[in-house]
Structure 1
Amino acid sequence: MTFFQELLRLKWRLVTYIGLYGLMTSALTATAILSGNAMTALTHFHRTMFIEAALLLVMVTITQLALATLTNIDQFVLQRHLNNNIRRQLVANIAKMSYLTYHRRADAVYTSWLTNDMNTINQQGLRYFSYMIQAIWQVLLSAIVLVNYQISFLPTVTLAATALLIVPLLYRKRLARAAAEFSHQNERLNKKISDVLAGFDTLLMANRQTLLINRITHASDETGQANLHYMQFDMFTQFLINLVNLASQLALLIQAGLLAYQHQLAVGAVVTIYSLGGST
């Protein structure tokens, strides 16, 4: 089963999680709108309108923080059930193995599957899935708000969103290979540790304790290199995404500034558009 298929098995828990992200992102979008409204009221010296916008901004910000907390808690609930399902499936598959098939691998390999691989799924799977869900909500809501301000933002938003989606896909296969190598290296580390510790008594009697230290240190270094290799790809991808995001944000800011200069857009809306561009 793929990671996404495992998530779909959780059904209503996944729906609840996505819904909470939608509410949190809606509150985040509302704070950007209210900030712009407060700025517009300030530029027109409308004291009452400014106070109302400021009070609403405080209320929505508190709501957004509460929803963010609930979303984080729900993520751990989702993670718990996801881990249980995957581990149950792994153990069920292991239980079906014959004696010879099982012993083709060391016990440490199966331990790595049930521990290190689960940690990788949580860190590089569920966390990035959460980023994706938030990004989808953010793009949709921001696009609606921006187009509502001025229809001319539609081409800019469409191009920016398309670019932000394409960049990660360019390096998807290389990232997958690096992640797989990291997983395999964790298996080798667990096997090496088990083998070395199993020979502890022999090494002690031979006064070769330094061999234990050297072998585990070497295996640890190889695992760290695999992790570094993965993170290099990941960070490079993030760098490209940030460059595209910055270019998109500046394009929206310049476009909004020109529209405000031509009196087709309120000054406070420029603040909102810049904020939405950054968060998206």
Structure 2
Amino acid sequence: MSYYLKKNWKLLFLPCFLGLMAQGAYAIIQLLMMQSFQAAFDLNLREFVQWTCACIGGYAAYLGLSAIAGALESNAKRKLNNQVRHDLYLTLLNKKHPEYHSLDNGVYMSWLSTNIKQIDSLGWTSFFNIVNQLAMIMCCVAALLSLDWIMLAFGLISAVIMLIIPKLFTKRMEKLGQACANAEAQGLSHIKDILAGFDVFRAFGRANQFISKGDSASNELENANCKLEISQTFITCGISAISVCLQFLQQIVTVFLAIQGRIIVGAISSASNLTAGITNGLSSIASGRMSIAASKPYFENITIHEDDVLPQEEPIAERCYNAISMMNVSFSYGDKQVLNNQSFLFEKGGKYALTGSSGCGKSTVLKLLLGWLPNYQGSIHFNGKDARDFTQEQLLQQMSYIEQDVFLFNTTIRDNITLGDNFSKEMLEQAIKNSALDGDLANMPLGLDTPVGENGSSLSGGQRQRVAIARALIHKRSILLVDEGTSALDQKNADIVEQSLLDNPDLTLILVSHHLSQKRKAQFTKVYELEPITLVSEN
């Protein structure tokens, strides 16, 4: 949190300064009210009216400054929240493929939504509240000092007491904040899973299970937050009780000083307000410090900031690879081995197919080439250079990957193909033709500007795959990895797409398929037929 406060001190200065001015106006109002009360005590109507008018003017200034400061605070919190989200995106982008996929997307959604709300309420709001209360305390201290040093001394003693108490609860609030963050992420992940399975629940008549699981996930979200709020409430009430006791003692001191003639009698009316400004301010600061402590776990997900210096990637020596070799490669998912000392050779411009039954490692080969599965045995070389010497980003600059479960952004077909880049009309038309998407677009009134819906829900499975193929083709990667990428196409369109890929002399194609006709196999440079690994037990 301190990182963002230091970075944005210019943004925070004006609302904090106006808050200080507002609290100064409040302290001046209390001094004016003393004079007004004293005039009433002396039965001086003229001075009473003058001082009362001055109080009204002071309140107008106080409310105006407070309103402007509040608006600036809201704008500052908006910008701070956007910066936190930006750094969370950078953090996610910095994760390796296995690390990113080790958590469910629901967890990341929680980071970017629920956690930001908690940072806003527990962090930024508490910070501005603490600044305002500090300003209030300073102004009230100055006002009390203008009355009598004994009142100031009592106020400082109150300050010490109120600053010590919160330290007793800081660790507990941090622990509760962490538990709340974890529970919210878990609950949101469960809700995402339930919503994704909505059609399954309805198809099998499990409406009650849908509701019960939803209620259970809702309880996960709310219970931890409720526990955090209850603890905050009890601790805040205890601190407030101590604050009230200190105010009563301050009132006794004020009356004693008035009897002694050291302060005017009118001071009795506002001295308690000034003292309350100190004790209540310190109580609010104590509560704010606990809230900030509870917000700490929400910042721990951020591991990289915008102005952190990132290591520069080494430029890739060659734009295209003449050969990719995989020698004696073995890989296991936990205890399940899917590749065992297997070797492959893919040469530039060649067309290769990986066939075999489910679970024999076809998709694993592609993921190894993409750098997504680093914990393998054996060697993988690009033009004789070890794949481990490349970053994952460098490898992806050379390859495009099309999988069976295609993801599309909730925007237009055009944006899903171009990903925001500018391509000539000819390049776009060529990619559409080679992906067999032209027939679909001809039947869409909006053509390329047709919205696809959330994850392509407005398109058929085949249309989504054709969009993904067009996206891969237009970005001109020298190596295309296709993992059942034409499985959702009808035979006619599948033949058109596959033939287009096979006819491209500059493209190195590695295609995964369960079944290929003998005629189609003959068109590939080489077909690797993988077999599942059979464990042999020894008697």
Q: Distance in 2 between matches of 1:172 and 1:211?
A: 41
Q: Using the TM superposition, give the Cα deviation of residue 109 of structure 1 relative to its aligned residue in structure 2, in angstroms.
A: 0.6
The one-letter amino acid paired with 1:91 is Y
2:119 is aligned with what amino acid? I
Q: Does 1:100 align with 2:98?
A: yes
Q: Distance in 1 between matches of 2:121 and 2:202?
A: 38
* TM-score, normalised via structure 2 length: 0.51
Q: 1:219 matched to which residue of 2?
A: 217
SS of match in other structure, 1:152: helix
**3-state SS of 1:244 partner:** helix
2:152, 2:276 → 1: CA distance? Answer: 16
- Distance in 2, matches of 1:191 and 1:224, equals 14
Q: Give 1:81 deviation, angstroms.
A: 0.9
1:223 deviation in Å? 2.0
Give yes or no for contact 1:24–1:67 (8 Å, CA) kept in 2: yes
Contact kept, 8 Å, 1:167 with 1:237, in 2: the verdict is: no
- The alpha-carbon deviation at position 271 of structure 1 amounts to 1.4
Whether the 8 Å CA contact 1:37–1:268 is kept in 2: the answer is: yes
Between structures 1 and 2, the one with greater strand share: 2
Find the partner of 1:19 among 2, 17, 20: 17
1:74 aligned partner: 72
How far 1:12 moved relative to its partner? 1.0
Partner residue in 1 for 2:131: 133
CA contact under 8 A between 1:109 and 1:188: conserved in structure 2? Answer: yes
In the TM superposition, 1:100-249 aligns within 5 A as 100-249=98-247
Residues of 2 paired with 1:219 and 1:202: CA distance? 18
Deviations 1:71-111 (A, max 9, x none): 21111111011001111111011111121111000111111
Which one-letter code corresponds to 2:197 in the other structure? G
Residue 61 of structure 2 corresponds to which residue in structure 1? 63
- What is the alpha-carbon distance in structure 2 between the residues aligned to residue 81 and residue 233 of structure 1? 30
List per-residue Cα deviations over 1:123-170 (Å, max 9, x = no partner).
111222122112211111111111220011232111101111122221
8 Å CA contact retained: 1:109, 1:187: yes
**Contact kept? 2:145, 2:152, Cα under 8 Å:** yes
| Structure 1 residue matching 2:266: 3-state secondary structure | helix
CA distance in 2: counterparts of 1:26 and 1:199, whole angstroms: 58
Post-superposition offset of 1:272:
1.7
Supply the distance in 2 between the matched residues of 1:42 and 1:184 (Cα, whole angstroms): 60
Structure 1 residue 279: deviation in Å? 2.7
Number of the residue aligned with 1:260: 258
Give a deviation string over 1:41-61, Cα, whole Å, max 9, x none: 111122222111111111110
Q: Distance between the aligned counterparts of 2:35 and 2:175, measured in 1? A: 48
The 3-state SS of whatever aligns with 1:241 is helix
Quick check: 1:10 aligned with 2:8?
yes
Q: Which digits, 9 at most, give the CA deviation of each residue in 1:216-250, with x for residues without a partner?
A: 10121122211111011111121122112111211
Q: Which runs of 5+ in 1 are unaligned?
A: none
Deviation at 1:212, TM superposition (A): 1.3
Aligned partners of 1:71, 1:237: CA distance in 2, in Å? 29
Structure-1 separation of matches of 2:210 and 2:156: 58
* Equivalent position of 1:279 in the other structure: 277
1:274 partner letter: S
In 2, distance between residues paired with 1:15 and 1:244? 32
CA RMSD of the aligned region, Å? 1.2
Bigger Cα Rg? 2
Kindly state the Cα deviation for residue 5 of structure 1 after the two structures are TM-superposed.
2.0
Alpha-carbon separation, structure 2, partners of 1:9 and 1:278 = 34
The match for 1:250 is: 248
Distance 2:58 2:183 in 1: 46
Cα distance between partner residues in 2 of 1:127 and 1:169? 20
The letter for the 2-side match of 1:177 is K
Moved more, 149-158 or 253-262: 149-158
- Preserved CA contact (<8 Å) 1:41 1:49: yes
Q: Is the 8 A contact 1:167 1:240 kept in 2?
A: no
d(CA) in 2 for partners of 1:239, 1:251: 19
Residues in 2 aligned to 1:43 and 1:118: alpha-carbon distance in whole angstroms = 53
**Partners of 2:167 and 2:81 in 1: how far apart?**
26
Q: Distance in 2 between matches of 1:26 and 1:180?
A: 37
More helix by share: 1
Moved over 2 A (4+): none
Number of residue pairs the alignment of both structures matches: 278
The equivalences for 1:79-94 within 5 A come to 79-94=77-92
**Structure 2: tracts of 5 or more residues without a match:** 279-539
